[in-house]
Amino acid sequence: YTNTYTSCAHMKALYDEALACEGMVGMAIGTRPDCVDEEKIELIQSYTQDYLVWLEYGLQSVHDATLSLINRGHDFKDFVRAVDMTRDRGINICTHVILGLPGEDRAMMLESARVLADMGINGVKIHLLYVIKDTPLDRMWQRGDYTCMEQQAYVDMVCDFLERLPKEIIIQRITGDPHGEELRAPAWAGRYRETFNLIQQTLEERES
């Protein structure tokens, strides 16, 4: 994971140490889109000659109003800048998206899919928004200011989302997997395999 304050020298030391382990064939680096610059991207690119490299950007939504509401600390333009900086360097780009964010309806979530489909990214991780105990979202949920998605609604939304992505995009995740002792709601979020199977079944029924 890289952040704004991670120096290239520190990053290189970490990556070299990890890749020195026997049998390592690549690495996936997770970061925020506002935490990369040309120097860091050039360092990451230097590993692509010998290793499979994924750079994962936590976007969550293409809508700036949502990003502001959830205190992401960056906007969509930061993501576009990061993707433009990373593209065509031999680095695979993965984007994290959360479905069910406060204030987002079906149209907004599908707009995120449509926008990402046109950006030339290589992979997507789709997450379910679930409520973790003792967080700001937990307090919103307890006040009745946030309602979690129902399981079938989430399954249908994931399938709708996937159907709008180019077939070349690798789907690396399709739901979340919370720790049971931390989960407040929805209860079905803890049944990962059940949700996974429902998504698979729905895609088959749609012949998607």
CB 132 within 8 A of CB 176: no
pTM of the prediction? 0.93
Q: Which phi and psi angles does 55 have, rounded to 5°?
A: -115, 115
Residue 103 CA to residue 108 CA, distance in Å, equals 9
pLDDT at 6: 76
**Rounded-to-integer distance, Cα 2 and Cα 28, Å:** 11
Q: Determine if the peptide bond prior to 102 is cis (ω within 30°).
A: no
* Tens digits of pLDDT across the chain (208 residues): 656 567 899 999 999 999 999 999 999 999 999 999 999 999 999 999 999 999 999 999 999 999 999 999 999 999 999 999 999 999 999 999 999 999 999 999 999 999 999 999 999 999 999 999 999 999 999 999 999 999 999 999 999 999 999 999 999 999 988 998 999 999 999 999 999 999 999 999 999 9
Q: Two tokens at 61?
A: 């939504």
Closest by Cα among 97, 82, 89 to 174? 97
List, in order, residues 6 or more apart from 126 with CB less than 8 Å away: 97, 99, 158, 161, 171, 173, 174, 175
- Produce one character per residue of 119-158: b if its CB has 16 or more CB atoms within 10 Å, e if not: eebbbbbbbbbbbeeeeebeeebeeeebebbebeebbbbb
Minimal CA–CA distance to 31: which of 82, 88, 89? 82
Report how far residue 131's alpha carbon sits from residue 185's, in angstroms, rounded to the nearest whole number.
Answer: 5
Say how far apart CA 140 and CA 125 lie, in whole Å: 25
